């Protein structure tokens, strides 16, 4: 079964080819235009997808050594994401499926982030808990089968990726700041500036308060020393990163206990964070959990994970009609 998958929900145009569940190519084109604006500009994202989609698909087919006439199905991201961006991938997938007379498979982007764990070994067994952390989401997902998952906790305001990116902006780092905070944090002292924050009840998260806490902290310190940020950048990054990781792992611990589970997986862009990866490994070793962390290229947005979800849907015959439309909001 030869499957082509398309991802266009945010600022990555990506195409992948999967043959019988095995990923053959996964081409990702990241839009650089947003850096100068300090965040993703939806209108520009749509236009960039429009430019990139055909070259990216052609490259994915070429790398996999597949002719478009060999395709058996096309999977695409239906949502959640930026509507204009999703429209590009959706329209392209529909048109290609129509012209080749092959089935179409719609995929939920958040489900695909979880299923990225099934691209390569080692794979978790069901059921397991997945912490999905990205620029738009922070969710604890209880996964009982490839296509059955339930959100048991989530952020009530900002996503943790947003907290990383907004903090980065406050200290003058370009967008997306998450990876830069990660890099600088490696050279800093995580205990230098303790930020204590309130906690949401149950398994939910809140990340809107930390931005304000950091803003006030920086305002206060720069009043005393105008060079405070420059002189303490690495320590600020390390301290903020530690705070965010602690907030995530406290809830993970709670959820694992409630579900009496011993397999934890992480997914989404923020799962590329080296501090989160090592802290989760340490916690797992301490509590006897099996920890699943995807390879870097499957953490951030990519069509390989869309292909994986499409593969499972193909197996169960979950196809989509040609009148399908994308969804900016799309719950699991």
Binding region for ligand KG4 (CB under 6 A): 10, 134-136, 161, 164-165, 176, 178-179, 182, 268-270, 272-273, 300-301
Beta carbon of residue 29, minimum distance to ligand KG4 (angstroms, whole number)? 13
Nearer to ligand KG4, 79 or 268 (CB): 268
165 binds, among ligand KG4, Zn ion, none (CB under 5 to 8 A by kind): ligand KG4
Nearer to ligand KG4, 179 or 326 (CB): 179
Instruction: Please give the Cα distance from 222 to 198 (Å, whole number).
Output: 25
Beta carbon of residue 274, minimum distance to Zn ion (angstroms, whole number)? 19
Nearer to Zn ion, 80 or 284 (CB): 80
Nearer to Zn ion, 137 or 233 (CB): 137
Beta carbon of residue 288, minimum distance to ligand KG4 (angstroms, whole number)? 27
Nearer to ligand KG4, 13 or 300 (CB): 300
Between 124 and 143, how does the x/- string for binding to Zn ion read (CB under 5 A)? ----------x---------
Site for Zn ion contains 12 (CB under 5 A): no
Site for Zn ion contains 301 (CB under 5 A): yes
Q: Which residue is nearest to ligand KG4 (CB)?
A: 269
Nearer to ligand KG4, 96 or 184 (CB): 184
89 binds, among Zn ion, ligand KG4, none (CB under 5 to 8 A by kind): none
Residues that bind Zn ion (CB under 5 A): 134, 301
């Amino acid at each position: 079964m030869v499957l082509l998958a398309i991802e266009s929900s945010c600022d990555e145009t990506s195409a992948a080819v999967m043959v019988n569940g095995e990923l053959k190519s996964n081409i990702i084109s990241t839009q650089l235009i947003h850096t100068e604006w300090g965040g993703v500009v939806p209108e520009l994202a749509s236009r960039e997808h429009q430019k990139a989609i055909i070259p990216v698909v052609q490259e994915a087919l070429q790398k996999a050594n597949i002719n478009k006439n060999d395709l058996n199905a096309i999977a695409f991201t239906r949502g959640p994401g930026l509507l204009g961006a999703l429209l590009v991938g959706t329209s392209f997938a529909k048109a290609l499926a129509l012209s080749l007379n092959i089935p179409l498979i719609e995929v939920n982007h958040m489900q695909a982030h979880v299923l990225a764990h099934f691209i390569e070994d080692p794979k978790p067994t069901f059921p397991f808990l997945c912490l999905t952390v990205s620029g738009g989401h922070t969710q604890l997902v209880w996964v009982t089968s490839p296509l059955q998952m339930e959100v048991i906790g989530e952020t009530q305001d900002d996503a943790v990726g947003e907290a990383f990116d907004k903090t980065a902006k406050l200290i003058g780092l370009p967008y997306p700041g998450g990876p830069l905070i990660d890099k600088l944090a490696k050279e800093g002292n995580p205990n230098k500036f303790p930020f204590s924050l309130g906690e949401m009840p149950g398994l939910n998260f809140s990340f809107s308060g930390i931005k304000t806490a950091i803003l006030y902290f920086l305002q206060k310190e720069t009043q005393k020393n105008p060079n405070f940020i420059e002189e303490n950048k690495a320590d600020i990054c390390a301290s903020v990163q530690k705070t965010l990781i602690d907030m995530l792992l406290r809830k993970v611990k709670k959820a694992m206990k409630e579900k009496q589970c011993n397999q934890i997986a992480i997914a989404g862009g923020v799962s590329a964070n080296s501090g989160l990866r090592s802290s989760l490994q340490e916690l797992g070793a301490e509590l006897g959990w099996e920890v699943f962390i995807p390879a870097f290229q499957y953490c951030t947005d990519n069509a390989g994970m869309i292909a994986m979800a499409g593969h499972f849907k193909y197996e169960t015959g979950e196809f989509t009609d040609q009148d399908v439309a994308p969804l900016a909001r799309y719950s699991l």
